[in-house]
Chains A and B, each alone.
Chain A
Amino acid sequence: EAQVTQNPRYLITVTGKKLTVTCSQNMNHEYMSWYRQDPGLGLRQIYYSMNVEVTDKGDVPEGYKVSRKEKRNFPLILESPSPNQTSLYFCASSSAWRGGYGYTFGSGTRLTVV
């Protein structure tokens, strides 16, 4: 089944404790992105990647890191999480071919930083 898999689904952590949210897709997609979703603010892009070793900042990159060493994986790293990073996070992937297909989203990771 074609899908984007995020882990974990839920995470509660303490301020300053480094964490990684994993994202993997099995569709051989070139493009991958991370979004955060907060009430009243919609979906805001954190980082995106056009292909392996090619990443760029989105609208809200502060406090986050990403890497794209393999085509299928795009982990999101919070080096020193803070309470304002409490949010619902989505990973998404897309083919570079725009012939009718958009982004496929993962199921989301709900992160709480206390």
Chain B
Amino acid sequence: QQPVQSPQAVILREGEDAVINCSSSKALYSVHWYRQKHGEAPVFLMILLKGGEQKGHDKISASFNEKKQQSSLYLTASQLSYSGTYFCGTERRAGNMLTFGGGTRLMVKP
């Protein structure tokens, strides 16, 4: 079952923050986050395993609330290079198929 992402689209000015949410109705083993720029392949950002951890690198971080089966991606002090479509992907168990949400289109303006 496809995870639900929100919002569907967001427009930011450089330096502003954004949060993208991903929720599932099923128990999850892992949540992945990817960014796709127009005309390119999705690029892996980070993975969170069940256990309620939080991860991050640079100004992009993510959390996974195992009890709620929800993950959030946090983009702080956004840069122009952050523009693109962000997808969360969920696995219900190790080695299970990775199912993607519908995507969140992020546009960062100068």
A100 and B99 in contact, given A43-B87, A90-B41 (Cβ under 8 angstroms)? no
Residue of chain B at shortest CB distance from A91 = B41
Q: Which range contains the number of A residues in contact with the other chain?
A: 20 to 34
Q: Of all chain B residues, which has the CB nearest A58?
A: B97
Query: Which residues from chain A contact B102 at a C-beta distance below 8 Å?
Result: 41-42
Stretch of B15-23, B42-50, B64-72 that contacts chain A: B42-50
Q: A102-B32, A103-B32, A108-B41 are in contact. Are A42 and B101 (CB under 8 A)?
A: yes
- Contact yes or no, A102 B34, CB < 8 A: yes
Q: Chain B contact residues (Cβ within 8 angstroms of A): what range?
A: 20 to 34
Bound Cα distance from A45 to B40, whole angstroms: 18
A74 and B47 CA atoms in complex are apart in Å by 24
Rounded to whole angstroms, the CA-CA distance of A31 and B89 in the bound complex is 15
Q: Which of A33, A45, A56, A101 contacts B44 (CB 8 A)?
A: A101
In the complex, the answer to whether B99 meets A107 with C-beta atoms within 8 Å is no
Q: How far is the CA of A35 from the CA of B97 in the complex (A)?
A: 11
B95 in complex: contacting residue of A31, A101, A103, CB < 8 Å: A31
CA A107 to CA B30, docked complex, whole Å: 24
16 A-B contact pairs sorted by A residue (CB < 8 Å): A31-B95, A35-B100, A42-B2, A42-B102, A43-B100, A45-B97, A45-B99, A45-B100, A48-B98, A90-B41, A96-B95, A100-B46, A102-B34, A103-B34, A103-B44, A107-B40
Nearest 5 CB-CB pairs, A to B? Answer: A105-B41, A102-B44, A43-B100, A102-B32, A42-B102
Q: Which residues of A contact B (CB under 8 A)?
A: 31, 33, 35, 41-45, 48, 50, 56, 58-59, 90, 94, 96, 98, 100-108
Which residues does B use to contact A, with CB under 8 Å? 2, 30, 32, 34, 40-44, 46-47, 49, 87, 89, 94-95, 97-103
